[in-house]
Amino acid sequence: MKIPLSEPDITSLEIEAVVSVLRSTRLSLGPRLNEFEESVAQRVGVPYAVAVSSGTAGLHLCVRALGIGSGDEVIVPSFTFIAAANAIRYEGATPVFVDIDPHTLNADPSCIETAITRRTRAIMAVHTFGLAARMDAILAIAERHGLFIIEDACEAIGATFAGRPVGSFGDAAVFAFYPNKQITTGEGGLVVTRDASLASNMRALRNQGRFETDEWHQHSILGFNYRLSEINAALGHAQMQRLDEILHKRAAVAQVYDRLLANSDGITLPPRAQAPDTMSWFVYVVRLADHRDRVAQELSSKGIQCGRYFAPVHQQEAYAQWPCPHSLAVTVAESRRTLALPFFNNLSEAQIEFVVEQLRSTMADLS
């Protein structure tokens, strides 16, 4: 049995939506883009959405549009995907890494407060693995110190905190739609904001610096080609119509894993939201007491794909010479234990049983 780590859930609805674009004469900056943006904005409860070519592009545009640059600092966890830190560096600003809470794996608010200096301009709040960060504490910190908040919600569409959707708290927030995400556009991302001026600026930035009031070959500011095609947008809009169904299916897969892995020696189950908060399951990441890398190798040899989620950013070769003034002891310790198991909408119970059986037997052999 070969089981991939992730797999997109594409139905006839999505296929028909994409085909309808291919039969049209509009492949970029058309009605499907507007539909997709409006569907996400409505779901999050904010007035403006700007679809872009990737979640990374969205994070970059947030940093750029907020005027963050050389000499500025942005606080971000090291236990995240590297795009969060890269987007800060693209503009010449400094990512300041902070440690995580060992229970939630999200940035520890007390560490955020400690890391603030006179150069700090923003906090990048990452909703790790679809579990909302402590936005109440982060909002309070940002207000006390006059900081922007960028929500990295790339892994968390549909999650809520204190009754509000993630993405509705910050000055801007970013969702991502790579094929391993809850919903996919193939490649793509989207920024949401309540600020009309910020949204207008980001729309220009994604389209080579051309504002909607500009003529076709008039470019008012330095921009990028971060556009999302009509094909991608049509796929995303169709997936958004199925979002509740998809989130339900993923939660059901997580419940099967929970049941089969309950009381397993040496295995800590993933963190989860506490009521009234809701989780949007992106991946199913367990923490092993020992032998994580050897377990991963053995599972791979048996056809079970798994992943190291996450390798800390500050330990990546691209950041080897980067200063890291704060202790990241929890990040380092927990990242050595984390293992993402196969997880996707249509993962069957029989497949999950096979994964759990092989995981347990491998751990027993190595103990």
Dihedral in degrees, nearest 10, Cα atoms 257, 251, 235, 222: -90
Per-residue pLDDT tens digits of the chain, which is 367 residues long: 899 999 999 999 999 999 999 999 999 999 999 999 999 999 999 999 999 999 999 999 999 999 999 999 999 999 999 999 999 999 999 999 999 999 999 999 999 999 999 999 999 999 999 999 999 999 999 999 999 999 999 999 999 999 999 999 999 999 999 999 999 999 999 999 999 999 999 999 999 999 999 998 999 999 999 999 999 999 999 999 999 999 999 999 999 999 999 999 999 999 999 999 999 999 999 999 999 999 999 999 999 999 999 999 999 999 988 889 889 999 999 999 999 999 999 999 999 999 999 999 999 999 8
pLDDT of residue 23: 97
Rounded distance, CA 3 to CA 361, Å?
17
User: Which pLDDT belongs to residue 1?
Assistant: 83
Options 3.40.718.10, 3.30.70.20, 1.10.287.3510, 3.40.640.10; CATH for 12-241 is 3.40.640.10
Predicted confidence at residue 323, as pLDDT, reads 87
Token duo for residue 17: 């939506």
CATH class of the domain whose range is 243-366: alpha beta
Name the residue among 266, 236, 58 with its Cα closest to residue 151: 58
By the 10 Å C-beta count (0-12 exposed, 13-18 middle, 19+ buried), 275 is classed as: exposed
The predicted pLDDT at position 321 comes to 87
Taking each helix axis from N to C terminus, what angle separates 349-366 and 243-261, rounded to the nearest 10 degrees? 40
| pLDDT confidence of residue 242 | 98
- Name the H helices within 74-158: 83-90, 109-115, 135-145
Residue 114 near residue 326 (C-beta atoms within 8 A): yes
First to last CA, the chain: 25
> Which among 193, 218, 189, 190 has a CA at the least distance from the CA of 204?
218
Q: How many whole angstroms separate alpha carbon 160 and alpha carbon 287? A: 24
Q: Are 50 and 191 in contact (CB under 8 A)?
A: yes
Active site residue 181: yes
Among candidate residues 2, 181, 249, 302, the one labeled active-site is 181
Location of each CATH 3.40.640.10 domain in the chain: 12-241
